[in-house]
């Protein structure tokens, strides 16, 4: 009976050595088996277990003074750990199981259901598959294939007349990149960088024995994980102070090695979605299609190339769509709202504002719609569960290594469940083994 009690006390003592910073920052209970030493090995935990067992068999101070002996003089002959499960096992299933244990008492936020609904509406509308830029390029190629009239210039040489398409003024800005367009001189972007080769997703990981590494996820579980990401990770406009990368949710989506690159990817996604949405609206707006048609007619009549009228009209509409979409992204990064579907009331740029759109960025709000974080929720929902788990483990390592005593922290050496085998002997030569499985959810 005493041996069994000692085994239970000793194994519980191992679990009590969970990493405090990991719990405080990420609400995860696990033993980091290097114990801050940088020497990552389960033998460290075995040594701790052996010491706990021996201490519980040792005589008390009073007994030592009186030189009293136990009846059988029990002592720990050996203590080994024969089975393990680590946080990163089975693609991070062990980590997810712990997160869900923490989150199970939390109600699912209404914002998550809204994000699911918005994602469904976006996909049903085809905004995630309609490549407006490709359509614009194909349209421009047709324009370029038409020969324009020529004239003799002042040097006596024959030269093709310029179409002077107003869309060209907008299209010339595309090579700058959407984040550069909207952020230049307006928003301060984090310059944080991470060497990804140092983190979990880019190295061969330590693996357990498969002791308890399963985690089947229901739809509710996946929503709770999404809620956890937003609770524990920073993002553009909602940064966390003591973190390596500031835009951590964007990192979950894209996995790039810097905040700039991850935000750049997010703005490119926003551009793709917003162009699809804005084109869908502008093609139904009689006032805007009429304005584009009038400009196209004037240009093609002057140059006597009526076959270009429809192509030029659409090139103007594509350019207008691009300019409006860049304006939308500027509003979102500035903390304003942009609706998923535009209307006459929420459209921002008129025809002449479109031509000089860079001078018309920085509008604060469309009056209704979704914030940047809402669009980010949608993008996160569309990211594979496997990628999010893999990148979350990187984020945990990044931030843990900034805490005292954890500069070499590794998620794949974080122990969740273990099987301990304790061998005890007596002064009379008797020997017995006790095997127990202990874990934070056992």
Token pair 């009331």 in the structure block, residue: 345
The residue with tokens 């040792």 is: 58
What mean pLDDT value characterizes the chain?
90
To which residue do tokens 């935000």 refer? 263
Q: Tell me, what's the pLDDT at 270? A: 98
Report mean pLDDT in 10-residue bins for the chain, 442 residues.
80 94 96 94 93 76 48 74 95 95 88 94 97 96 82 69 84 94 87 96 94 87 95 96 95 98 98 98 96 90 82 96 96 95 95 92 86 97 97 98 96 96 79 87 70
Cα separation of 205 and 417, whole Å? 17
Cα gap 203→206, rounded to integer Å = 10
The single residue listed with the structure tokens 């005890």 is 424
| The predicted structure's pLDDT at residue 63 | 45
Q: What is the pLDDT of residue 307?
A: 85
Angle between the 372-381 and 219-232 helix axes, to the nearest 10 degrees?
A: 140
Structure tokens at 435: 């095997």
At 159, give phi and psi (nearest 5°). Answer: -140, 140
**pLDDT for res 341:** 97
Q: Which residues contact 184 (CB under 8 A, 6 or more apart)?
A: none
Q: b/e map of 31-66 (b: 16 or more CB within 10 Å)?
A: bbbbbeeeebebebbbebbbebbbebbeeeeeeeee
pLDDT tens digit sequence for 267-305: 999 999 999 999 999 999 999 999 999 999 988 877 778
Question: How far apart are the C-alpha atoms of 280 and 154, rounded to whole Å?
Answer: 45
Cβ 6 vs Cβ 14: under 8 Å: no
Predicted pLDDT at 61: 43
Could you report the per-residue pLDDT of 102-126, keeping only the tens digit for each?
998 888 889 899 999 999 999 999 9
């Amino acid at each position: 009976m005493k041996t069994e009690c000692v085994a239970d006390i000793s194994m519980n003592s191992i679990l009590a050595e969970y990493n405090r910073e990991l719990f405080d920052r990420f609400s995860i209970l696990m033993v980091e088996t290097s114990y801050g030493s940088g020497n990552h090995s389960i033998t460290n935990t075995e040594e701790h277990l052996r010491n706990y067992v021996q201490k519980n068999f040792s005589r008390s101070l009073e007994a030592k003074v009186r030189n009293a002996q136990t009846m059988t003089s029990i002592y720990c002959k050996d203590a080994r750990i024969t089975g393990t499960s680590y946080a990163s096992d089975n693609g991070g299933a062990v980590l997810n199981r712990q997160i869900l244990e923490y989150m199970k008492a939390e109600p699912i936020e209404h914002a998550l259901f809204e994000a699911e609904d918005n994602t469904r509406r976006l996909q049903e509308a085809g905004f995630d598959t309609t490549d407006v830029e490709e359509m614009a390029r194909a349209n421009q190629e047709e324009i370029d294939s038409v020969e324009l009239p020529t004239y003799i210039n002042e040097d006596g040489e024959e030269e093709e007349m310029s179409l002077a398409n107003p869309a060209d003024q907008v299209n010339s800005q595309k090579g700058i990149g959407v984040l550069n367009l909207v952020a230049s001189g307006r928003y301060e972007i984090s310059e944080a960088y991470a060497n990804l080769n140092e983190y979990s997703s880019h190295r061969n990981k330590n693996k357990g024995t498969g002791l308890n590494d399963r985690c089947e996820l229901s739809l509710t579980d996946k929503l709770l994980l999404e809620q956890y990401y937003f609770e524990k990770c920073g993002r553009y406009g909602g940064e966390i102070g003591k973190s390596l990368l500031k835009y951590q949710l964007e990192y979950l989506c894209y996995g790039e090695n810097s905040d700039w690159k991850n935000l750049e990817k997010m703005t490119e996604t926003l551009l793709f979605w917003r162009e699809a949405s804005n084109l869908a609206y502008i093609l139904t707006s009689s006032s805007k299609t009429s304005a584009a048609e009038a400009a196209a007619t004037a240009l093609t009549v002057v140059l006597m190339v009526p076959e270009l009228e429809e192509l030029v009209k659409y090139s103007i509409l594509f350019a207008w769509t691009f300019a409006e979409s860049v304006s939308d992204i500027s509003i979102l990064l500035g903390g304003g709202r942009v609706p998923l579907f535009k209307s006459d009331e929420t459209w921002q740029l008129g025809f002449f504002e479109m031509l000089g759109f860079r001078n018309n960025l920085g509008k604060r709000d469309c009056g209704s719609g979704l914030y940047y974080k809402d669009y980010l929720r949608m993008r996160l929902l569309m990211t594979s569960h496997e990628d999010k788990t893999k990148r979350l483990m990187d984020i945990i390592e990044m931030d843990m290594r900034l805490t005292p005593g954890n500069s070499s922290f590794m998620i794949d050496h974080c122990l969740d469940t273990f099987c301990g085998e304790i061998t005890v002997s007596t002064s009379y030569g008797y020997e017995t083994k006790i095997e127990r499985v202990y874990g934070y959810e056992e």
